[in-house]
Amino acid sequence: MTANGSRVMERAAEMRREFDQAFVRPVQFDATLTERLLTIRAGGQALAIRLSAVAGLFADRKVTPVPGGHPALRGIAGFRGAILPVYDLPRLLGIAGPQSPRWLVIAKAAPVALAFDAFEAQLLVRPEAIVAQTVRPELKDFARNFLRTADFSGPILHLPSVLDAIGISQRDTALN
């Protein structure tokens, strides 16, 4: 065997070891590098919601009206064996919305559903795409960050602030 052939065999053996070792080491992901968000439309306003604040996303659920309560209360709806109040998100935000929003998102922090016009996408974004500002003054209490990517530009809805506006806090999570 020549010296050149010997080097090739050694390199092949080294590459084989490296390949095998790649399966022995645990895969490590850096979760701080990305964040998942849902992009929606509420009253025509483009918004994002952190997926970490969402327990479920549903379309075309029957909402049964109930008397009294908060002005934004649309009624109640059933979700996986639980009956939850459904609030009109555009109305809570102070923007005009459709009479019958199609989509509902359930907040993870409390057993509440929020109704809105349209679900657009789920995005995986890097932290630098999120900046601390809002654009519309009426959203200042509900949006503390702004998302700007090639696919989306708009405020990120702060769900705990929305829940506070309807008088539901994280203490009310007994049904959750």
pLDDT in tens, 19-59: 888 777 776 656 567 899 999 999 888 999 999 999 999 99
Quote the distance between the C-alpha of residue 107 and its chain's center.
Answer: 10
Q: What is the mean pLDDT of residues 100-111?
A: 93
Predicted local distance difference test score (pLDDT) of residue 176: 34
**The predicted structure's pLDDT at residue 73:** 93
- Of 58-62, 78-82, 95-99, give the lowest mean pLDDT range: 95-99
Question: With bands split at pLDDT 50, 70 and 90, how would you rate the model's confidence at 96?
Answer: confident
| pLDDT tops 60 at residue 98 | yes
What secondary structure does DSSP assign to 21-54, as a single string?
HHHHSPP---GGG-EEEEEEEETTEEEEEEGGGE
Give the architecture-level CATH label for domain 31-171: Beta Barrel (2.40)
Cα distance between residue 76 and residue 84, in whole Å: 5
pLDDT at 143 exceeding the cut of 80: yes
pLDDT at 171 over 50: no
Q: What's the mean per-residue pLDDT of the chain?
A: 85
For the cut 60, the answer to whether the pLDDT of residue 126 exceeds it is: yes
